[in-house]
């Protein structure tokens, strides 16, 4: 048994672009963001990241899913010897249309988006991933990676919404049972499975979201409930996600939910990300918001 804590770093919503001078695609009236590539390079060179045991990328690695941005991502991981300890979770920007399509159900569009994502993975010699999947980090820790991206985000309306689906939830339940004896179970996905109402946000001291924003980003009720019930029943310790670009740390039905800030977005000139220290016995998981 190891005699030191196992450190996991969570980096999220990098929004890497083909060129560092390109702006991030999210619409803003003022101050659109650029420089995400340089910010990620600096993060990857940081000693906390480099000396970690595992890195979890919780989606939106690229801003538009383009292969040039994926190439920069993989080259950076190679440069700092981070690739072998990195786990990739897709975000809506990694396989997206970003409003370029009219609402319709088209299986070909879904397949095209998935091919685009897998082409980005292939640059790093990472095979086509099937979600949910499990990553057993050691005898005490297992990570369950879930795809919450609607199997392709085919329209402007559904692009930012999270959706898991029955088949993935059913496989997730089987995986939870298989690893029932592992002490530390972590669930990793991109979308938030728990966006609080304004009343709850006020109690938690977090920023409120408009009804329109909540509607456009919230998972279907049945997905959120099923995920929560499975996590409670199988003693999942922690659920981590990105997508909302803000730091959150809360408990829901005995499970800890942590939302990550956008790692390449400066907050008062500094960059933030979460780390998770797991004690050798698996008795404690200690999250910490790190600012550099």
Residue 153: predicted pLDDT: 59
Question: With bands split at pLDDT 50, 70 and 90, how would you rate the model's confidence at 209?
Answer: confident
| Measured CA distances, 176 to 151, 165, 189, 220, 288 (Å) | 22, 17, 15, 22, 26
Question: With bands split at pLDDT 50, 70 and 90, how would you rate the model's confidence at 214?
Answer: confident
Rg (the chain; Cα; Å): 18
Q: What is the dihedral of CA 276, 165, 196, 268, to 10 degrees?
A: 50
Cα(2)–Cα(44) distance, rounded to whole angstroms?
A: 25
Residue 146: predicted pLDDT: 95
Residue 224: predicted pLDDT: 92
Overall average pLDDT of the 99-123 stretch: 74
CA angle 113, 61, 35 (to 5 degrees): 125
The pLDDT of residue 97 is above 70: no
Question: What mean pLDDT, rounded, does the chain reach?
Answer: 89
Cα(151)–Cα(163) distance, rounded to whole angstroms?
A: 8
Question: With bands split at pLDDT 50, 70 and 90, how would you rate the model's confidence at 101?
Answer: low
- Greater model confidence, 101 or 204: 204
Residue 75: predicted pLDDT: 97
Cα(238)–Cα(257) distance, rounded to whole angstroms?
A: 6
Residue 100: predicted pLDDT: 57
Overall average pLDDT of the 102-110 stretch: 65
- Give CATH for domain 6-291: 3.60.21.10
Residue 130: predicted pLDDT: 84
Q: Is it true that the peptide bond before 132 is cis, omega within 30 degrees of 0? A: yes
Cα(53)–Cα(82) distance, rounded to whole angstroms?
A: 10
Residue written as token pair 């004896």 = 181
Cα(24)–Cα(93) distance, rounded to whole angstroms?
A: 11
Residue 203: predicted pLDDT: 80
**Contact of 107 with 148, CB cutoff 8 Å:** no
pTM for this prediction = 0.92
The pLDDT of residue 226 is above 70: yes
Residue 104: predicted pLDDT: 60
Overall average pLDDT of the 174-184 stretch: 97
Least confident window among 15-24, 71-80, 105-114, 257-266: 105-114
Overall average pLDDT of the 107-126 stretch: 82
Overall average pLDDT of the 101-123 stretch: 76
Residue 102: predicted pLDDT: 58
Cα(97)–Cα(18) distance, rounded to whole angstroms?
A: 17
| Measured CA distances, 223 to 82, 143, 228, 237, 275 (Å) | 33, 19, 8, 19, 27
Residue written as token pair 């310790």 = 237
Residue 35: predicted pLDDT: 95
């Amino acid at each position: 048994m190891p005699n030191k804590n196992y450190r996991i770093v969570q980096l999220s919503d990098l929004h890497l672009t083909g060129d560092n001078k390109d702006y991030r695609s999210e619409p803003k009236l003022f101050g659109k963001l650029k420089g995400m590539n340089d910010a990620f390079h600096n993060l990857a060179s940081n000693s906390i990241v480099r000396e970690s045991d595992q890195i979890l990328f919780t989606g939106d690695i690229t801003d538009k899913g383009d292969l040039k941005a994926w190439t920069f991502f993989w080259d950076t991981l190679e440069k700092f010897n981070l690739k072998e300890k990195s786990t990739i979770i897709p975000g809506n920007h990694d396989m997206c249309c970003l409003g370029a399509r009219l609402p319709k159900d088209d299986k070909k569009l879904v397949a095209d988006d998935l091919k685009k994502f897998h082409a980005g993975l292939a640059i790093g010699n990472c095979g086509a991933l099937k979600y949910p999947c499990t990553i057993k980090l050691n005898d005490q820790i297992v990570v369950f990676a879930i795809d919450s991206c609607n199997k392709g985000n085919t329209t402007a309306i559904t692009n930012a919404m999270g959706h898991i689906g029955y088949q993935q939830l059913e496989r997730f339940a089987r995986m939870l049972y298989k690893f029932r004896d592992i002490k530390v179970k972590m669930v990793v996905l991109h979308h938030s499975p728990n966006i609080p109402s304004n009343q709850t946000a006020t109690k938690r001291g977090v920023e409120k979201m408009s009804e329109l924003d909540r509607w456009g980003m919230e998972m279907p009720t049945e997905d959120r409930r099923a995920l929560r019930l499975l996590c409670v029943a199988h003693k999942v310790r922690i659920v981590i996600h990105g997508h909302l670009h803000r730091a959150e740390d809360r408990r829901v039905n005995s499970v800890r939910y942590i939302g990550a800030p956008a790692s390449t977005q400066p907050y008062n000139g500094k960059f933030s990300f979460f780390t998770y220290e797991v004690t050798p016995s698996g008795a404690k998981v200690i999250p910490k918001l790190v600012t550099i």
